[in-house]
Amino acid sequence: MLLHRLAAAAVTIALLAACGHAQALEHARPVGKLALKAVENPGVVELAPDGFDRVVALSDVHGMDAPLRALLRAAGLIDGAGAWTGGRTLLVIVGDSIDKGAHSLDVLDLWVALAASAPASGGRVVHVLGNHEAEFLADPLGDAKAAEFLAELAARHVSVAELLDPATPRGAFLAHEPLALKLGRWLFCHAGSYPDMPWPAFKASAAATLSARRYADPLLTNPEGILEGREWEKDPLARQALLARLAANGLAGVVHGHQPKAYGLKNRIGAVDGGKLIKLDSGMSPDAGANPGELLRFVHPQDFLGQAMPAGEIVGAGPLRPLVPEEAKPPKD
């Protein structure tokens, strides 16, 4: 393990030097598994939908700042300068804002600014934890997925330690990301795979894990779990088992990201299984094609109090599309 970590560090430093950032290496030098400062993280944010005029959700931005800002402007959430214009909107980002793209820090800074300014007009920004954020926070030294992010930090003379420190604006934002949002009877979480545990136990476990900042905890790293799970969406029986777990805990459905090809709905937002499973990842990351992306605007927040799929419209590069339930199908590639 030590040799692996040293090799990863060497690769990262070589990459930074090759990119012409040798003079900034001291700022972005990986810091390894530091003892992270504990915080008060609720684990799960629970909100009543009637406090908002609309709900907007997206996921997996992966450092693609310019397409993100175009989407937010199209949805009426920001102006040309990036200032909040969303009024009483709840904006939910379902994880994975960093890595892969070249502007993760710009994306993070935008979320920090909007989270601070939205409440003045009755809005709110909730960014739930994604596997990329969790893996970076768990071990920046050993996170091979963070090579582009580390290069960006080096170029901007931003230390990794700053992002781990909850006393800084960026560090505080990352440290307080919850594992999930419960809005009415609907769950928002990154990979969608709610674990087989009662809701009170899940909330307590999420709060304890994230408050202690144990980002390598099995609750977060389970390969078929709430941050990392991929295979469940391909299996109708696994999807029905997930819906049964949700129903047993009073939850009507789940809104998730993590997979641009989930349910065979490649690089676009969609819903399957009667609208109970809503997928947000629209393939914005470079390895998914650097698509312009989409976001989902729910026009009647009170719909989240019910069992049926909330009414929504998809905002993207083309005309508005209504969110309608579809049949899941295997990915083509």
Which residues contact residue 13 at a Cβ distance below 8 angstroms, ignoring those fewer than 6 apart?
A: 25, 29
pLDDT (average), residues 8-31: 37
CA nearest 92: which of 104, 75, 79?
75
pLDDT of residue 14: 37
pLDDT of residue 122: 98
% of residues, the chain, pLDDT over 70: 89
User: Which of the 8 DSSP states describes residue 197?
Assistant: S
Residue 101, CB-side half-sphere exposure with 13 Å CA sphere: 26
- Give 156-210 pLDDT, tens digit per residue: 999 999 999 999 999 999 999 999 999 999 999 999 999 999 999 999 999 999 9
pLDDT (average), residues 132-149: 91
% of residues, the chain, pLDDT over 90: 86
Between vectors from CA 148 to CA 144 and to CA 154, what angle results, nearest 5°?
Answer: 110
Q: How does the average pLDDT of the chain come out, rounded?
A: 90
The rounded distance, in Å, linking the Cα atoms of 41 and 28 is: 26
**Strand 54-58 to 89-93 pairing:** parallel
pLDDT of residue 144: 86
pLDDT of residue 19: 38
Res 11 pLDDT > 50:
no
pTM of the model: 0.90
User: Rounded to the nearest 5°, which phi and psi values hold at 68?
Assistant: -60, -50
2-6, 115-119, 167-171: range with lowest mean pLDDT: 2-6
pLDDT (average), residues 286-292: 95
Task: State the virtual CA torsion across 108, 301, 280, 144 in degrees, nearest 10.
Answer: 30
Band (141; pLDDT cuts 50, 70, 90): confident
pLDDT of residue 333: 55
Band (34; pLDDT cuts 50, 70, 90): low
Res 13 pLDDT > 60:
no
Res 4 pLDDT > 60:
no
Res 328 pLDDT > 70:
yes
pLDDT of residue 6: 32
The structural domains of the chain, with segments of one domain joined by +, span: 2-29+42-326
pLDDT (average), residues 67-73: 98
pLDDT of residue 52: 98
pLDDT of residue 331: 59
pLDDT of residue 35: 74
Band (26; pLDDT cuts 50, 70, 90): very low
pLDDT of residue 330: 75
- Give 225-281 pLDDT, tens digit per residue: 999 999 999 999 999 999 999 999 999 999 999 999 999 999 999 999 999 999 999
Between vectors from CA 281 to CA 278 and to CA 282, what angle results, nearest 5°?
Answer: 115
pLDDT (average), residues 48-76: 97
- What's domain 2-29+42-326's architecture? 4-Layer Sandwich (3.60)
